[in-house]
Structure 1
Amino acid sequence: MTLYLSRLRLSRKPSARALDAIINPEEPGPRIDAHHRLLWAAFADNPDRKRDFLWREQSEGEFLTLSARPPAPSELFEAPAIKDFGPRLAPGDRLSFALRANATRARKGIGRVDVVMDALHALPKGARAPERIALAQREGAAWLSRQGERAGFRLIGTEVGDYSVAVLPGHRGRRERQPQFGILDMTGLLEITDPPSFLIALSQGFGRAKAFGCGLMLIRRAE
């Protein structure tokens, strides 16, 4: 399996900077939606192409992608920094990680639900705000531990740095039906138990909303 880890920076050319208000809206939901469309500029080489890459916004105007193909040149980006991604892992290896994920679980009769939203909705409205981060920590850690059971790793520890809800634009109709999803930002430590399974899961991403900047796990050897 050949993968590519790439760093893409928005072009500083005047023709690209003129689109900044469209590419980088201030509101989180429209911003994620705009970046979702933007990243296709580097990977959609034909109209029938299906997404085969993961991405995340790393900082203002900078994105990381993990893909089965190198990103193509685009006038919207500077020349990408691309490197082969094929870590050699063995059982027992410990890795530090950073993951931005939309964590869900199946609820009978409902379908898939966000794990944190689901836990919050079980509380009275007045108690939700004070418990938000504590529930995000508990539910995020439990969800990622379950992911490890099928993805070849054991979660040693994780910390939720942030939990937010992205509301996508363009919806018309009742507010409760507006498309939205929760985003967990997690860092931590894991131990590899099954290297092939882990690498497959890493290439496919974790959780849902992968088209909107979730699912890409960044790893490095633990100290």
Structure 2
Amino acid sequence: MHLSKLVLNPRRRDVWRDLRSPYDLHRTLAHAFPTEPGINYRAQHGVLFRLEPMTTPNAMPTVLVQSASPPEWSCLPEGYCLQQQSAPYDPTFAAGQSLVFRLVANPTKKQKINGREQGKRVALHDLPDPDAADPDTPTPARLWLTRKAEQHGFRVVYTLTDGFWLGEPNGDGARGKPQLPHYGVRYDGLLQVTNPDTLTKALTTGIGPAKAFGFGLLSVARPQ
């Protein structure tokens, strides 16, 4: 795999367009991964990306991109990036290992109608469930992460969460349909590896839906 860090130029109009619309950012990144017409570049090149949080007044817009193929960042619009860093990425894990992690995900579940799951998904918010009998019950978004961790080879030791809406409604969606904002949760915390092979696959393929909108990229590092 390859891991890239892009610092975007905040003086460019197309950068601000992409910051407002995750799908536009997705389309801009496609320039760095040449693909035959009609082929999904993200699926062919194993691309996952996310916009990093801008936590200080002087923070620059930064995008983290992971890909199976080496990117060609010179194919992005001239002046779009202020800095580009890319390096091979081939992590290995051991059962029981502790790692700090960040995951920006789109926690959802399929809506049930008459007891059956339908295609439409509903957001699982990082807010207490008003119907929970125990007020200390984890939020639906935290319960979602616990389930996904079990499926993807790790256990969450602890996590901090930050829920947000990503994107703005506009008329530039596919076939003229409006793009709707996506609900996201940023998870930062500590995990413990339970199945190294399964965790490696989760890093490669991502976790949860809406990956074309900048969700699903799991980043891990050894604790300092």
Distance 1:140 1:99 in 2: 12
The residue aligned with 2:66 is 66
Distance 2:51 2:172 in 1: 24
Question: Contact between 1:54 and 1:65, CA under 8 Å: does it hold in 2?
Answer: yes
Question: Contact between 1:171 and 1:178, CA under 8 Å: does it hold in 2?
Answer: yes
Distance 2:34 2:49 in 1: 14
From the two aligned structures, give the one with the greater helix fraction. 1
Q: SS state of the match for residue 201, structure 1?
A: helix
Q: RMSD of the TM alignment (CA)?
A: 3.1
Distance 1:68 1:87 in 2: 13
1:54 maps to 2:48: yes
Name structure 2 gaps, 5 residues minimum.
Answer: 55-59, 131-135
| Residues 134-179 of structure 1: per-residue CA shift (max 9 Å, x gap) | 99x712211111001110001111111333353442179xxxx862
Equivalent residue in structure 2 for 1:98, among 102, 119, 126: 102
The residue aligned with 1:115 is 124
In the alignment of these two chains, the number of paired residues is 198
TM-score where L is the length of structure 1: 0.76
Question: Contact between 2:100 and 2:189, CA under 8 Å: does it hold in 1?
Answer: yes
Give 1:65's aligned amino acid: V
1:58-207 equivalences in 2 (<5 Å): 58=52, 60-72=60-72, 73-74=74-75, 75=78, 76-77=80-81, 80-109=84-113, 110-111=118-119, 112-116=121-125, 138-170=139-171, 179-207=180-208
Name structure 1 gaps, 5 residues minimum.
Answer: 124-133
User: Identity over aligned residues, as a percent?
Assistant: 31
The residue aligned with 1:130 is none
TM-score where L is the length of structure 2: 0.75
1:208 maps to 2:180: no
The verdict on how the C-alpha distance between 1:209 and 1:44 changes in structure 2, with shifts beyond 3 A counting, is farther
Distance 2:179 2:212 in 1: 17
Question: Contact between 2:21 and 2:168, CA under 8 Å: does it hold in 1?
Answer: no
Q: SS state of the match for residue 116, structure 1?
A: coil
Q: Which moved more, 1:162-171 or 1:202-211?
A: 162-171
Q: 1:79 offset after TM fit, Å?
A: 6.9
